[in-house]
Structure 1
C-alpha cells in the first residue's frame, strides 16, 4: 500500500490535478498489489458515480451558480446589512450573516465565497477595512457551506457511511450556527480594538430591515423548501436539488430580473464544468478507497490505533489532528471518500455515534477550506479581494480559532450534533 500512497503524494507534490494523482496511484496499486483484472478499474470508476443520490451534487452546484448572479446573493447582503449594520465592524458581520444564509442554499464553499467576496470586498476596501482580515473572514464564511445544510460534502459523507442524508443535514445545523455566532463575536472584538470597522456603523432602522426582508423573502424560502422537504420525507436530496435549481431560475428571471434567458446557457455550462470536476474526483477517489479496503488497510489502522490507546477521547484527538492535517493538503471530497470508510468502523468500535462522527469529519474538513496551502476558499477570497494567499494567511488564524473551538465541542459533546437529528429521527 505504501506504493500507492507514495505515488499519490509524489504526484500531488509535483502539481498534478488531484483526480489524476488518485487515478494513477490507484492504477499502480492494481498492477502491483491486487490480483484482479484491469477491467475492475473501469468498473469501480463508473460505480463510484453510479448513484442516484450523487445526482444532487450538480443540481446544488447549479443552484449556487445561478444564485450568485441572479440577485439572491445581493438581497441577502442587503438584509444582513439592515440586520447587523449598526454593530461595530459591521461589514465583517454582514459577511458572516450573508455567508450563513447562502450556505443554506448552495452547499458550495467556493461559490459562496465568490458571491460574498465580489459584493462586499469593494465596499470593505472603500471603508478602509484591513483587506487581509476581510478576505480571511469571507473565506471562513464560505467554509460554512459544507456544514450548514444543504451540503454537498454531507451528501458524500451520508452515502459513504450509509447514513440518512436528512439526519446528516440536521446534524450540521447547530455546529454551523455556533460557528457563525463565534465568528461574529470574534469579529466584533477584533473591530473594537482596531481603527477599521469602528466608525462605519449605520443607525438601525426597522423600516429598512422590513424592506430588506421583503426583498430577500423569495430567496429565504429556498432553504425552508429544500431542507424541510428532505427532513419531512416529501422528496429526496436529489429531488430537492432539482427543485432548488428551478426555484433559483424562477426567482432570478421573474422576481429579481437580474439575469435573462440568454444568460442561462453560460451559467449552466459553468455549473457543468464545476460539477464534472467534482464527479471525476469522486470516481477516482472511490477506486482508491476500494483498493485501500482490499489490501486490509482499515484493519491494520484499527490495530495500530488500539495499540496506541483504548480511550475514545484520545482517539478523537488523533482523528481530528489527522483530518486537520489532511485538509491542509487534500480536497475535501477526496479526503472523505478515502479516509472516512477507514475511520468510521474504527470510531463505531470506540462507541462513537456514526452520525456525530460524520458531522465532526465534515466540520473538520471545512476548516481545511481556509487553511494554507490548499484551502480553496482561501484562494477564492484572496483573488476576489486582490490580495495574495500569503498576505491573507497572516490573518487566517483569527477565524480559525473559533472554528476549532466549535469543532472540539462537536467532537466531545455529542448533543451538539445529535440533538436535532434525534428529535426528527428518534
Structure 2
C-alpha cells in the first residue's frame, strides 16, 4: 500500500497535479488498491487533520503579517537597516539581508517577505549598479529566514504534527540563533562579493543619529517581542498570541503609522482567506496521507533500515539532511513536512535526537529548497522584481546557497545552537 501511495503521489506530481490534489488522489488510489479499508476513511481522516484548535494560529499569523505589510512598516525597517550597515562596502546588499532578518519576525512567511521587501530593495540595488542576478539571488536567500525566525507557520505545523509534547514556543525560541547565523553568513558572502566587484557604500550615518532612526521602527520591532514574552510568561498560548498579534498590527497600522485604512481591510481579509485555505487544504489531506503511511508499516521499516546503517545520531541526521535537500528540490516545505514528519520522527526519536532540534533542522533544510528550481518560489518572486530570467539569478546563487548549507551543517552538528536559548528561557 505504501508503494502505491507514494508512487501515485509522485506520478500525479510529475503530471503537474497540484500538491494537495496529488495527495488526495494517491490516498484514494491506495485505499482502492488495499481493498478492505472503506473509502469514507479519506473524508474522516481529512476532517480529523483540520479539526484542531491549535491550527487557528495559522490564519491569525497570516492575517497579522498581511496587516503589518500593508501598515507601513517596510520602509521604516529598511531605513533602520540601512542606517546600521549602509556605511560598509555593498551597504545596500547588507541592508537587504538585515531588513529580511527583522521582517522575518513579523510575517512568518518567506514568500511574504520576498514580496514586501523585494519590490523595494531589488530595484534599488539595480539603480546603484548591482548586478540584477546578484540582487535577486541575495534577496531570495535572505528571505529564507522568514519561517526560521519566529513567529513561523512551518514551526507551528511541525509542533502540532510531531506530537509527543513538542513545545511550539521552544521551537520559536530555538529558531532565533539559526536565523541570526543565516543572516550573518549571508552578510559575509554579500560583503565578500561586494568588495570584489567594488559595489558602492550607501550612506554613513553618524552613530548619534541611530536612535532617532530606530525610533519609528520600534512599534514594528515590538511585535515579535510581545509574542515571545507573552507565551514564555504564560500570559497567552501560541494560538492566543496570534490573535494578540492581529490586534497589535491593527493598532500600529491605524494609530501609530496611520497608513492602514478601513478600505484596506477587505482586500487583506480576502487574501488571508485565500492563503489560509491553501495551507489548511494541504494540512487536511496530509493527515490521511500520513495515517496511511503509518498503517502500511513504512515508518517502522524505514526506522529499521536507517538503524541498520548507524545508530550514531549525527550520522543519521546527516543522512536525513541529504534526503531532505533532494526532496526540497521537488516539493515545497509544507507538504514535504506533513508527509515526512510521521516517517522521520520515529526514526530520530529511536536514537535519542531532541525533537525541537530536529524540527529546526528539518524546517531550515526544507526552506533552503525555496532556492532550488523547479519549485523554488523565492527565485521566481525575486527574478520577477529584477526583471531577469531565472537562469541569470541561479548563476549568482552559489555563494548564498553555500552559506545556507554551512549554517545547516552547524545547527545539525551542534544541537546547542538550537537548544541553549529555549533551555535558558523556559527552564523554571
Give the TM interval when normalised to the shorter protein: over 0.9
Moved over 3 A (4+): none
**Whole-angstrom distance in 2 between the partners of 1:67 and 1:8:** 37
**Whole-angstrom distance in 2 between the partners of 1:174 and 1:84:** 20
**1:184 corresponding residue in structure 2:** 187
**Whole-angstrom distance in 2 between the partners of 1:376 and 1:231:** 33
Alignment of 1:42-57 (within 5 A): 42-57=43-58
Shift of 1:208: 4.0
Shift of 1:34: 6.2
Q: Is the 8 A contact 2:232 2:426 kept in 1?
A: no
Q: Is the 8 A contact 2:186 2:400 kept in 1?
A: yes
**Whole-angstrom distance in 1 between the partners of 2:415 and 2:191:** 29
**2:404 corresponding residue in structure 1:** 403
**2:90 corresponding residue in structure 1:** 89
**Whole-angstrom distance in 2 between the partners of 1:207 and 1:251:** 26
**1:370 corresponding residue in structure 2:** 371
Q: Is the 8 A contact 2:328 2:368 kept in 1?
A: yes
Alignment pair present for 1:173 and 2:176:
yes
Alignment of 1:132-281 (within 5 A): 132-162=133-163, 163-195=166-198, 197=199, 199-281=200-282
Shift of 1:204: 2.2
Q: Is the 8 A contact 2:383 2:390 kept in 1?
A: yes
**Whole-angstrom distance in 2 between the partners of 1:390 and 1:227:** 40
Shift of 1:389: 2.2
Q: Is the 8 A contact 1:371 1:396 kept in 2?
A: no
Shift of 1:209: 2.2
**Whole-angstrom distance in 2 between the partners of 1:245 and 1:383:** 30
**Whole-angstrom distance in 2 between the partners of 1:79 and 1:108:** 21
Q: CA 1:202 to 1:34, structure 2 compared with 1: closer, same or farther past 3 Å?
A: farther
- What is the aligned-residue RMSD (CA, Å)? 1.3
Shift of 1:206: 3.0
Shift of 1:33: 2.2
Which stretch has the larger CA shift, 303-312 or 393-402?
Answer: 303-312
**Whole-angstrom distance in 1 between the partners of 2:132 and 2:53:** 42
**2:27 corresponding residue in structure 1:** 26
Shift of 1:268: 1.1
Aligned residue for 2:417, secondary structure, equals helix
Alignment pair present for 1:424 and 2:410:
no
Q: Which runs of 5+ in 1 are unaligned?
A: none
Alignment of 1:327-342 (within 5 A): 327-342=328-343
**Whole-angstrom distance in 2 between the partners of 1:275 and 1:398:** 34
Alignment pair present for 1:98 and 2:77:
no
**2:67 corresponding residue in structure 1:** 66
**1:322 corresponding residue in structure 2:** 323
Q: CA 1:369 to 1:23, structure 2 compared with 1: closer, same or farther past 3 Å?
A: same
| Residues paired across the two proteins, number | 424
- TM-score, length-scaled by structure 2: 0.96
**1:311 corresponding residue in structure 2:** 312
Q: Which runs of 5+ in 2 are unaligned?
A: none
Q: Is the 8 A contact 1:298 1:343 kept in 2?
A: yes
Shift of 1:207: 4.8
